[in-house]
């Protein structure tokens, strides 16, 4: 569970990045970011919309979706690829990796210094500029493995 201090640092980063990119800090954007911070399930835009519309009934899905895409462009959140489904969002900007359950679709964060320091193959380094490395493991989560 995140401490109040960690939450406050993330909110402060949200304000700072928004200002750096000339993005107004509106109540809707703040509410979307706060809802994203609470989520531990790597939610889709639809998930966030369903949660936020209870607080802000007149907000549109399009506003939520565009806001989340903007957040990812300015480095406030990461997009976790949807593997054929909708994009999912991750507010944890610290280095970490994901385990994806192929049965229920859940995405679980994990940390590994080995994976953090994985060597990029020469043939990739020669052809491309690598700016980040993320490992995604796939299999069955503990709930699905039991079922």
Q: Which domain, by its residues, includes 115?
A: 97-146
Q: What is the mean pLDDT of the chain?
A: 92
| Whole-structure pTM value | 0.84
For residues 67 and 18, state if they share a domain. yes
For the chain, percent of residues with pLDDT exceeding 70: 97
For residues 20 and 69, state if they share a domain. yes
**From residue 74, how far is each of 7, 77, 137 by CA, in Å?**
19, 8, 27
Quick check: 82 pLDDT over 70?
Answer: no
For residues 29 and 48, state if they share a domain. yes
Whether residue 112 contacts residue 135, with contact meaning beta carbons closer than 8 Å, is answered with yes
Query: The tokens 């020669």 sit on which residue?
Result: 126
Secondary structure class of 84 (helix, strand, coil):
coil
pLDDT given at position 1: 56
For residues 75 and 132, state if they share a domain. no
pLDDT single digits (tens) 90-115: 999 889 999 999 999 899 999 999 99
Q: From edge to edge, which strands make up the β-sheet containing 136-139?
A: 107-110, 97-101, 136-139
For residues 50 and 82, state if they share a domain. yes
Quick check: 53 pLDDT over 60?
Answer: yes
Residue (of 79, 81, 88) closest to 43 by Cα position:
88
Query: The tokens 């928004």 sit on which residue?
Result: 18
Quick check: 2 pLDDT over 80?
Answer: no
pLDDT given at position 96: 93
- Name, in order, each residue with C-beta under 8 angstroms of 121's C-beta and a sequence gap of 6 or more: none
For residues 103 and 48, state if they share a domain. no
Q: How many folded domains does the chain comprise?
A: 2
- Name, in order, each residue with C-beta under 8 angstroms of 83's C-beta and a sequence gap of 6 or more: 100
pLDDT given at position 86: 87
Which CATH number characterizes residue 106's domain?
Answer: 3.30.1490.190
């Amino acid at each position: 569970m995140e401490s109040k201090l960690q939450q406050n640092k993330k909110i402060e980063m949200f304000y700072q990045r928004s200002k750096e990119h000339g993005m107004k800090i509106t109540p809707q954007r703040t509410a979307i970011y706060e809802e994203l911070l609470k989520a531990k399930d790597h939610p889709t835009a639809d998930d966030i919309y369903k949660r936020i519309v209870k607080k802000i009934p007149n907000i549109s899905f399009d506003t939520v979706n565009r806001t989340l895409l903007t957040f990812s462009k300015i480095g406030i959140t990461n997009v976790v690829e949807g593997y054929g489904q909708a994009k999912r969002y991750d507010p944890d900007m610290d280095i970490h990796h994901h385990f994806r359950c192929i049965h229920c679709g859940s995405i679980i964060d994990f940390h590994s210094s080995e994976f953090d320091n994985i060597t990029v193959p020469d043939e990739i380094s020669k052809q491309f500029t690598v700016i980040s490395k993320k490992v995604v493991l796939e299999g069955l989560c503990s709930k699905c493995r039991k079922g």
